[in-house]
Amino acid sequence: MIREKAEALARRGSLLTAVALLALAGVYLRALVFTPVERFQGPAQKIFYVHAPAAWSGLLAFAVTGLLSVLYLWLRDRKVDLVAAASAEVGLAFSVIMLTTGPLWGKPIWGTWWTWDARLTSTLFIFLLFVGYQVLRGAITDPETRARYSAVIGILGLVLVPFIHMTVYLFRTLHPDPVVLKPGSPGLPGEMLVTLLTSFGVFTLLYLGFLAQRYALGVLRDLKDEEASRAVS
């Protein structure tokens, strides 16, 4: 019964991912062809419509991992740990996109691929923190110990998420201020804002699709390990 539910969830996640990828192609067609070129940054600004939503999805994934980590330490429910681990892995994938597109955008605008300002350094730090999260999960064989130690790292990541958002207000930084999550109204013209918000929605769907598939895989791996243990005993 558990296997059938996990396989069904994986299929739904795959379908959602496929729909989101098709929608992403449409979003970027809109960004390239129908969205105005930013007058100061030129065509390089078009990377923004992938970079910012990828950053949103990565930080959302890490925040979900952190919240579920708190919940796991309270409930000690294996399913909660599996969802937290799945979200962390998906967050790493989006973070790779964020940390790749950022320098590609920054080079023509700032004249450098990377600068150690507060926003960039803190996003790199949370990425490395969750790389450590994955390494730890691979190094500890006991499920309960692995889940408990992972939860501590997940909670540390949760603390970092709001700090990363606030870095542009707390420190002098080359990174631009948020254009949607900021006091007052969004700082983008209407057509650009529609493209950006649509991309945020599509990347959120991608996150949910990836999360469903990765959680289902975790459940199936647990079942396989249990079957192997029973066969040995």
The pLDDT tens digits along the chain (233 residues) read 888 999 999 999 999 999 999 999 999 999 999 899 888 888 888 999 999 999 999 999 999 999 999 999 999 999 999 999 999 999 999 999 999 999 998 888 888 888 888 888 999 999 999 999 999 999 999 999 999 999 999 999 999 999 998 887 777 776 666 665 555 555 677 889 899 999 999 999 999 999 999 999 999 998 887 777 677 66
pLDDT at 121: 92
pLDDT at 122: 94
pLDDT at 1: 84
pLDDT at 233: 63
pLDDT at 180: 57
pLDDT at 178: 66
With a threshold of 0.75, does the pTM exceed it? Answer: yes
218-225 — which CB contacts under 8 Å span 24+ positions?
A: 218/82, 218/85, 218/86, 219/2, 219/5, 219/6, 219/9, 219/79, 219/82, 220/3, 220/6, 220/7, 220/10, 222/78, 222/82, 223/2, 223/3, 223/6
